[in-house]
Amino acid sequence: MTGAVSTDDLVAWVRAFRDAVHAHKDELTRLDSEIGDADHGSNMARGLDAVVAELDPAPASPSDLFKTVGMTLVSSVGGASGPLYGTLFLRMGPALGTETEVDAEGLGAALRAGVEGVVARGKAEPGDKTMIDALSPALDAWDAAAAAGPAEAARAAAEAAARGRDATEPLVARKGRASYLGERSAGHLDPGATSATLLLEALRDTLAGAA
């Protein structure tokens, strides 16, 4: 797939993310029990179920889709996850305008707008042991591969996100509830970086299947 990503492709991505979170719900909860509130998996699964319930009929455009996803996550997911993931999607929508299809560069720009919204809301930087440690390198990898098309950009982004997720294990958390643990937060993967990697892996798999 070297051309455009349709609204249907993006709806499929959101559904795939829901399925991935359900498949890894226990893992996300275990990771969060080690350095957080032990509710990341259950919160994300519940929120994404609510999102998918809003997608029939499918929104008319990517912008409408991301607005629906973002608002639903903000209203249905507890803890920090709802506002952060909700902001990610809410910021992506306006970056796409009214187009019904988007190319690799456009989707990359929307992802960057979303991540910038997360940074502004959560005040996290790379190295703080948060979802930004997966999302930030994913953006750079996406941009570097965008000329090859959205499927290749998504593959590169997912691989970079996984490396970023794995790199959170030795870090000492500087943001969120995990930061209360100080040095004891080291030695654990960050659950937010883990779910963010699932988000990008779901996009990779969706666009590979649409090729």
Residue 49 has a pLDDT of 97
List, in sequence order, every beta strand (DSSP E) within 95-211: 101-102
Residue 6 is encoded by which pair of tokens?
């349709």
Low-confidence ranges of the chain (pLDDT < 70): 1-2, 35, 172, 174-185, 187, 211
User: Within 13 Å of residue 87, how many CA atoms lie on the same side as its CB?
Assistant: 16
In this structure, what are the phi and psi dihedrals at residue 99, rounded to the nearest 5 degrees? -65, 145
What pLDDT digit, counting tens, does each position of 69-127 carry? 999 999 998 778 899 999 999 999 999 988 899 999 999 999 999 999 999 998 888 98
- Angle of CA points 130, 184, 129, to nearest 5°: 10
The hierarchical CATH code for the domain 5-210 is: 1.25.40.340
Residue 176 has a pLDDT of 67
Residue 1 has a pLDDT of 41
Residue matched to tokens 């996290």: 124
Ranges of each domain in the chain: 5-210
78: left (phi over 0), alpha (psi -120 to 50) or beta: beta
Q: 74 CB contacts (<8 Å, ≥6 apart)?
A: 82, 83, 86, 87, 90
pTM: 0.93
Sign of CA dihedral 70, 99, 157, 172: negative
Residue 164 has a pLDDT of 97
Residue 169 has a pLDDT of 84
Residue 151 is encoded by which pair of tokens?
């499927």
Quick check: 108 and 146 in contact, CB under 8 A? yes
Q: How many residues does the chain have?
A: 211
